[in-house]
């Protein structure tokens, strides 16, 4: 538990950042994952999808989870969301053990999950309405969140009239309207084009600064993870396990320009090492790709 | 070395015929430079999976009705195209010919040949189509006169009464099936328990043709309208449950998961996600099923005390008033098409978010 918060020794933190991380560490724990394990039935003799995962997330922390494909990062997020049962281990949110999905853990998915039959406003009202709030108060709530994500002028549009980026902004507003303890995001910008994607990243940081919410963000994009996170949880595959938890030594508020700072690049290099370890044997064993006909005939 | 084969300077394929990969690549790149200019307008009439313009679609929709009508007109009004019968005008010396009688052309020719051989008087007549294919203008006239002609016997219904009766049977049968079938279909598609418990039996009954229950339903429900409504019910209900269950299952799971993470419980998932989520597709299914109800109507109306439009058709055929028969069949088609168009239009009002999907 404690070693997860030890600073990696290959990076130096600025004094402000050190202070920030100390203050974060002193906050209450929102999410507590202990010895989480996942096996799919009928595959017991293979390595489990997730081996033995334990970590903690503090209040208002921004955590990114990164890993090569197949390391079980999405499965882990779904388990935290209660959409997938755990084989062993426990997930606690604000001290309460998680059994099944609930409004205290908002989720934003990679695929668009807005309800097509509801207008933007009514999509955001969905959570408060489910919780038994009246029509007027949920509407006021929805309008406030839509203003925050910059969609106050599209409240009466249907989801299929929105662009991909707008849809995900509505999805974020919809999740936040429940005042969740933690927001679980599963590659939410994965389907967006590069430009919209970086716009959405900045937008998400802005929202996060203004709202008391903890975010756990799954991605496979290294730059995205470093740009967003306080800490990055790096997962390895077969079995899925935590390789390292990296504190990102980049000052806040973040800007695109920092992507070239030595700290940013150092983290990126470390992530590359962890996720794509250089294995000379593996490279050699790759079959040589050549244009058989052209190549052979070209030989004199 | 590779460069030599793909020389961009000449842009020509290598002469060596064995070098087909390179030849292919080079000729491909050349053909792009000499591309034909695209045709004007939004492309021709035949394009793979491309929608046609609104104007073209309208033309074709009219053609869909005009073409069969033209064919019918041609066969009816151009004598040498078909006209396999001869209506006798003057029977001549043929014993059994009567004026106005229809005879096969071969038979007519044979009889006349006989008369000529034996010095008798040949019959005369005009080529015509058989009685069962009346000309379009006669059917068009029948569409009006069928409504104005009083029933042949006292106490029998007028045509509009028969039609009204048919529509009432369909409405009642379909209503009963919808009231039971929609909730059951939704539950089957939502809960595996209901599906496993209900669907095998429904699937079993579905294979039994609805008319097979005719005698039974008369024995149980009497000879009036009840057994007819029951046939429509049996014919549509079991199909409806299975079709709607499958439609319900096509709702994307992520929508349900998203709703759960927003705090929706089981009941709320059903009422606030499943039901509104599948409603437009369900509505489309019901439109198709309503068409099936008309199919079962024809059987339903002939069991017990015959009634409705099918009885009218049956009776008119007996009297050999085929123009009325066609008129009645066309009426059924028009009513079906009309209701479907109205329901389609209403669907656009009910489900505004489906607008872009057509």
Structure confidence by residue, pLDDT tens digits, A187-238: 999 999 999 999 999 999 999 999 999 999 999 999 999 999 999 999 988 8
pLDDT, residue B2, reads: 41
**Residues facing A93 on adjacent strands:** A31, A96
Residues in A closer than 8 angstroms to B353, CB to CB, are 116-117, 158-160
Distance CA A263, CA B59 (A): 67
Question: Residue B337 domain-assigned?
Answer: yes
Among chain A residues, the shortest Cα distance to B275 is held by A117
Question: Residue B276 domain-assigned?
Answer: yes
CB A143 within 8 A of CB A152: yes
Q: Phi, psi (5° rounding) for residue B146?
A: -60, -35
Asked if B261 and A107 come within 8 Å (Cβ–Cβ), the reply is yes
| Domain's final residue, options B95, B111, B130 | B130
Question: Residue B68 domain-assigned?
Answer: no
Nearest to A173 by CA among A212, A147, A135: A147
Question: Residue B74 domain-assigned?
Answer: no
Say whether A279 sits in a helix, a strand or coil: coil
CB B276 within 8 A of CB B256: no
**Pairing status of strand B102-104 against strand B85-90:** antiparallel
Question: What is the DSSP-derived secondary structure letter of residue A64?
Answer: E
pLDDT, residue A295, reads: 52
Q: pLDDT grade, residue A251 (50/70/90)? A: confident
Place of tokens 């998680």: A98
Q: pLDDT grade, residue B151 (50/70/90)? A: confident
pLDDT, residue A11, reads: 61
pLDDT, residue B203, reads: 92
Give the domain CATH number at B175: 1.10.3720.10
Task: Give the pair of three-digit tokens for residue B41.
Answer: 């307008």
Asked if B21 and A294 come within 8 Å (Cβ–Cβ), the reply is yes
Cis previous bond, A253, omega within 30: yes
pLDDT, residue B244, reads: 97
Residues in B closer than 8 angstroms to A161, CB to CB, are 356
pLDDT, residue A202, reads: 94
Distance CA A232, CA A271 (A): 9
pLDDT, residue B33, reads: 46
Do B99 and B201 reside in the same domain of the chain?
A: no
Do B333 and B302 reside in the same domain of the chain?
A: yes
pLDDT, residue B223, reads: 85
Per-residue model confidence as pLDDT tens digits over A106-131: 999 999 999 999 999 999 999 999 99
Q: Phi, psi (5° rounding) for residue A184?
A: -100, 120
Q: Which of the residues A145, A216, A297 would you substitute to probe the B interface, choosing the one with the greatest number of B C-beta atoms within 10 Å?
A: A297
Question: Residue B73 domain-assigned?
Answer: no
* CB contacts < 8 A (A, B): 95
Question: Residue B152 domain-assigned?
Answer: yes
Question: Is residue A116 within 8 angstroms of chain B, CB to CB?
Answer: yes
Q: pLDDT grade, residue A245 (50/70/90)? A: very high
Neighbours of B66 (CB within 10 A): 12
Do B157 and B98 reside in the same domain of the chain?
A: no
- pLDDT above 90 covers a percentage of chain A that reads 65
pLDDT, residue A13, reads: 74
Question: Residue B217 domain-assigned?
Answer: yes
Comparing A1-5, A83-87, A94-98, A148-152, which segment has the lowest mean pLDDT?
Answer: A1-5
Do B160 and B269 reside in the same domain of the chain?
A: yes
Q: pLDDT averaged over chain A? A: 88
Comparing A14-18, A148-152, A160-164, B57-61, which segment has the lowest mean pLDDT?
Answer: A14-18
| Domain's final residue, options B97, B130, B163 | B130
Distance CA A130, CA A281 (A): 56
Do B120 and B148 reside in the same domain of the chain?
A: no
Do B236 and B96 reside in the same domain of the chain?
A: no
What's the whole-number mean pLDDT along residues B151-177?
90
Comparing A68-77, B97-106, B148-157, B308-317, which segment has the lowest mean pLDDT?
Answer: B148-157
Q: Phi, psi (5° rounding) for residue B45?
A: -80, -25
Distance CA A111, CA A190 (A): 9
Distance CA B355, CA B95 (A): 71
Do B196 and B240 reside in the same domain of the chain?
A: yes
| Predicted-complex ipTM score | 0.87
pLDDT, residue A286, reads: 59
Do B109 and B151 reside in the same domain of the chain?
A: no
Q: Which helix (H) or strand (E) holds B186?
A: helix B159-190
Q: pLDDT grade, residue B93 (50/70/90)? A: confident
A54 or A11, greater pLDDT: A54
CB A117 within 8 A of CB B353: yes
Query: Angle at CA B139, nearest 5°, toward B136 and B141?
Result: 110
Does the pLDDT value for residue B139 go beyond 60?
A: yes
CB A79 within 8 A of CB A158: no
pLDDT, residue B94, reads: 87
Do B181 and B111 reside in the same domain of the chain?
A: no
Do B222 and B280 reside in the same domain of the chain?
A: yes
Place of tokens 């009204």: B164
Place of tokens 């009766």: B165
Structural domain range at position B89: 84-130
pLDDT, residue A292, reads: 58
Q: What domains does chain A contain, in order, with CATH numbers?
A: 3-104+180-298 (3.40.50.300)
Question: What is the DSSP-derived secondary structure letter of residue A239?
Answer: T
Per-residue model confidence as pLDDT tens digits over A24-51: 999 999 999 999 999 888 777 788 889 8
Do B299 and B154 reside in the same domain of the chain?
A: yes
User: Which residues of B, range 245-264, sit inside 8 Å of A by Cβ?
Assistant: 252, 254-255, 257-264
Distance CA A145, CA B117 (A): 102
Question: Residue B218 domain-assigned?
Answer: yes
Q: Phi-psi category of B262—alpha, beta or left, where left has phi over 0 and alpha has psi -120 to 50?
A: alpha
Nearest to B326 by CA among B68, B63, B84: B68
Among chain A residues, the shortest Cα distance to B277 is held by A117
Neighbours of B315 (CB within 10 A): 18
Query: What total of structural domains would you count in chain B?
Result: 2
Do B216 and B273 reside in the same domain of the chain?
A: yes
Cis previous bond, A239, omega within 30: yes
Distance CA B27, CA B85 (A): 64
CB B292 within 8 A of CB B232: no
pLDDT, residue A283, reads: 54
Task: Give the pair of three-digit tokens for residue A149.
Answer: 């994500």
| Domain's final residue, options B95, B130, B165 | B130
């Amino acid at each position: 538990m404690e070693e997860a918060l030890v600073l990696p020794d290959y990076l130096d933190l600025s004094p402000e950042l050190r202070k920030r991380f100390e203050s974060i560490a002193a906050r209450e724990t929102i999410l507590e994952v202990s010895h989480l394990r996942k096996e799919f039935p009928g595959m017991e003799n293979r390595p489990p999808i997730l081996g033995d995962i334990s970590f903690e997330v503090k209040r208002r922390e921004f955590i990114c989870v990164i890993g090569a494909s197949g390391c079980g990062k999405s499965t882990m997020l779904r388990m935290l969301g209660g959409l997938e049962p755990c084989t062993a281990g426990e997930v606690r949110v604000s001290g309460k053990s998680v059994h099944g999905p609930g409004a205290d853990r908002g989720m934003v998915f990679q695929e668009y999950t807005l309800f097509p039959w509801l207008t933007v406003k009514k999509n955001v009202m969905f959570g408060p309405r489910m919780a038994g709030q009246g029509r007027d108060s949920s509407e006021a709530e929805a309008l406030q969140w839509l203003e925050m994500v910059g969609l106050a002028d599209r409240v009466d549009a249907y989801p299929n009239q929105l662009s991909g980026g707008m849809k995900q902004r509505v999805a974020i507003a919809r999740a936040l309207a429940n005042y969740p303890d933690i927001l679980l995001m599963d590659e939410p910008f994965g389907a967006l084009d590069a430009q919209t994607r970086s716009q959405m990243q900045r937008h998400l940081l802005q929202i996060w600064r203004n709202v008391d919410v903890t975010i756990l963000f799954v991605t496979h994009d290294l730059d995205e993870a470093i740009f967003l996170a306080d800490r990055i949880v790096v997962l390895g595959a077969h079995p899925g396990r935590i390789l390292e938890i990296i504190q990102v030594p980049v000052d806040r508020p973040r800007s695109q320009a920092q992507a070239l700072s030595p700290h940013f690049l150092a983290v990126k290099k470390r992530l590359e090492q962890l996720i794509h370890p250089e294995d000379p044997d593996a490279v050699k064993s790759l079959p040589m790709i050549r244009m058989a006909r052209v190549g052979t005939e070209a030989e004199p | 070395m590779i460069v030599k084969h793909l020389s961009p300077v000449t842009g020509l394929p290598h002469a060596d015929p064995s070098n087909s990969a390179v030849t292919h690549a080079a000729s491909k790149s050349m053909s792009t430079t000499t591309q034909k200019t695209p045709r004007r307008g939004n492309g021709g009439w035949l394009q793979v999976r491309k929608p046609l313009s609104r104007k073209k679609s309208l033309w074709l929709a009219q053609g869909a009705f005009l073409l069969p009508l033209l064919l019918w007109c041609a066969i009816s009004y151009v004598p040498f195209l078909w006209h396999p019968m001869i209506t006798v005008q003057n029977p001549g010396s043929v014993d059994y010919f009567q004026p106005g009688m229809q005879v096969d052309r071969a038979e007519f020719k044979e009889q006349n040949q006989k008369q000529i051989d034996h010095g008798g008087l040949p019959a005369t007549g005009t080529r015509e189509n058989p009685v069962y294919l009346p000309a379009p203008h006669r059917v068009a006239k029948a569409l009006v006169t069928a409504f104005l002609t009083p029933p042949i016997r006292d106490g029998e219904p007028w045509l509009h009464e028969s039609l009204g009766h048919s529509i009432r049977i369909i409405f009642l049968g379909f209503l009963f099936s919808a009231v039971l079938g929609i909730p059951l279909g939704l539950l089957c598609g939502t809960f595996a328990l209901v599906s496993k418990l209900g669907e095998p039996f429904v699937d079993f009954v579905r294979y039994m043709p609805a008319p097979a229950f005719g005698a039974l339903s008369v024995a149980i429900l009497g000879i009036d309208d009840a057994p007819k409504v029951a046939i429509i019910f049996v014919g549509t209900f079991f199909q409806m449950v299975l079709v709607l269950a499958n439609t319900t299952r096509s709702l994307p799971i992520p929508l349900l998961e998203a709703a759960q993470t927003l705090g929706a419980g089981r009941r709320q998932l059903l009422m606030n996600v499943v039901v509104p989520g599948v409603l437009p597709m369900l509505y489309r299914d019901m439109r198709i099923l309503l068409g099936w109800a008309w199919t079962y109507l024809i059987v339903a109306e002939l069991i017990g005390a015959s009634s409705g439009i099918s009885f009218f058709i049956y009776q008119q055929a007996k009297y050999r008033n085929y123009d009325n028969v066609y008129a009645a069949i066309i009426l059924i088609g028009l009513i079906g098409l009309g209701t479907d168009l109205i329901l389609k239009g209403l669907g656009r009002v009910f489900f505004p978010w489906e607008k872009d999907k057509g």
